[in-house]
């Protein structure tokens, strides 16, 4: 089962949703560094999404089938 990739607009919406949390987490940094750090955090979020989106996760039936076949091999 392949997960559906989200659109660019949905990804931007995600970043906008996380923006208040990102800004709050930057309060303890120097003002001069906040903008750069905010951009770095957003880039890391996008990079993480790309890694996660490429992971192929089995559905429950596939997982259960794989698990049971592995258990039979052990016996």
Give 38-65 pLDDT, tens digit per residue: 999 999 998 888 888 778 888 899 999 9
**CA dist., res. 56 & res. 62, Å (int):** 12
17-27 pLDDT tens trace:
999 999 999 99
pLDDT at 71: 87
pTM of the model: 0.63
* pLDDT band at 4; cut points 50, 70, 90: low
Considering Cα of 13, then 27, then 47, then 54, what sign does the dihedral take?
negative
CB contact at 8 A, 38 and 22: yes
Residue 70 Cα distances to 24, 62, 67, angstroms: 47, 12, 5
**CA dist., res. 10 & res. 46, Å (int):** 12
């Amino acid at each position: 089962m392949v997960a559906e990739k989200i659109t660019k607009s949905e990804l931007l919406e995600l970043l906008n949703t996380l923006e208040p949390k990102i800004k709050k987490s930057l309060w303890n940094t120097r003002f001069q560094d906040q903008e750069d750090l905010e951009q770095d955090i957003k880039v890391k979020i996008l990079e993480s999404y790309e890694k996660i989106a490429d992971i192929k996760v089995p559905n429950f039936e596939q997982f259960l089938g794989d698990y049971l076949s592995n258990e039979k091999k052990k016996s």
